[in-house]
Amino acid sequence: MAPMNEISGSIMDIAQTLQKINMYPYFDIANYILMCCIVKEDSPQIGSQSFSRRHPFACWLASMLMCFAGPIIANCLLGESIVAPFRNNRDILLATAVWYIINYMPWDLAYRASKFVPVHTVICLMKELQRARKISDGVAFAYKLNPRAYLVVLAIGVVKGSGYLEMKLFERLVRGLWLPASNECLKPCFTTKASCLIAAAFLLEKLGRLPCSHDGAFLAAVLSLFCFKLASKLLHIHDPFRPFESVFCTVLLGGLVDAIRRAAESSPATAAVPATGKTSGGQQQHQQQKDVSDGTANGLARDKEQKKND
């Protein structure tokens, strides 16, 4: 038992060390690099490869919104000042320095270096450790303010971990791009789902429903985020939740019922096609012409919308 106790103590020591690591400046720099790269890579959608040179203020503001998205959205949900993250001049100057280097360094050397696979992998792992810390701190802070409002606690933990994904809609608006159909409520990505799951685990630990200490839960969250990130980068597994979601939706959200109904309706409809074709040829021709005109109108509308987005 003594060796097992020593191993368990060493693991808990590692977890406590990870929680005590100062995020400033290295982990914050990793976060700022990733956020500025997201804005830089998304900018060509509005039709200009040199967006940062033609619209530097909009590029800077969009990058700052992404860098401090979690605190901004969390403060908005908790009824606090949304400009509070911008009161820290040290963080603003550091984020601005990273933004400048990423966008204006000659030959894009900083951006290219950050995209070099080993460097990018290290930056992403540093971001995942910071994500776990932010979720843990967000859940603890929200639970202290609203110990019985579990949904609020869960929401704060999620936006602390993946707030930049929810902020993307607004930072695109700053850059002149309006894509409401791309928000996280409609198409949640793996990062949002993982943040929600980890926030729920920290909440259960706060309620005493999780059979482990906070250190154990934190270490499990960090290791899970590390593994998923490495799987995404090396094995291109971008959403391991998708198979479970498909089964869940099929069984509990009407997918199985809809499939049975379509199977039941397909046989009579198929049998009725020949008889209908003999008696209503003119109606079918009229319907085909109508479908063609409707399709043309819809295509023009889509082209117009695409040009507007571009």
Does residue 141 lie in a domain region? yes
Does residue 49 lie in a domain region? yes
Q: Tell me which DSSP letter residue 207 carries.
A: T
CB burial of 27-53 (b: ≥16 within 10 Å; e: otherwise) equals bbbbbbbbbbbbbbebbeeeeeeebbe
State which amino acid sits at residue 236: H
- Residue 54 CB-half CA count within 13 A: 11
**What are the residue ranges in the chain where pLDDT is below 70?**
1-5, 44-49, 267-310
DSSP per residue over 261-289, as a string?
HHHHHHHHHHHHHHHHHHH-HHHHHHHHH
- pLDDT tens digit sequence for 34-63: 999 999 998 765 545 588 888 999 999 999
pLDDT at 49: 57
Range of the domain at 25: 21-234
Does residue 182 lie in a domain region? yes
pLDDT at 234: 85
Does residue 197 lie in a domain region? yes
Q: Could you tell me the pTM of the whole model?
A: 0.82
Packing angle between helix 26-42 and helix 150-174, nearest 10 degrees?
50
State both tokens at 264.
């039941």
CA 281 to chain centre: 51
Does residue 272 lie in a domain region? no
Please name the residue ranges forming H helices in 43-79: 51-54, 56-67, 69-77
Place of tokens 């009407």: 254
Q: Give the integer Cα–Cα distance in Å for 19 and 21.
A: 6
Domain count, the chain: 1
Residues in contact with 259: Cβ distance below 8 Å, sequence separation at least 6, in sequence order: 250
Does residue 250 lie in a domain region? no
- Residue 236 CB-half CA count within 13 A: 0
Does residue 286 lie in a domain region? no
Backbone angles phi, psi at 149, to 5 degrees: -90, 80
Place of tokens 């203020």: 57
Q: Give the integer Cα–Cα distance in Å for 66 and 163.
A: 8
Does residue 95 lie in a domain region? yes
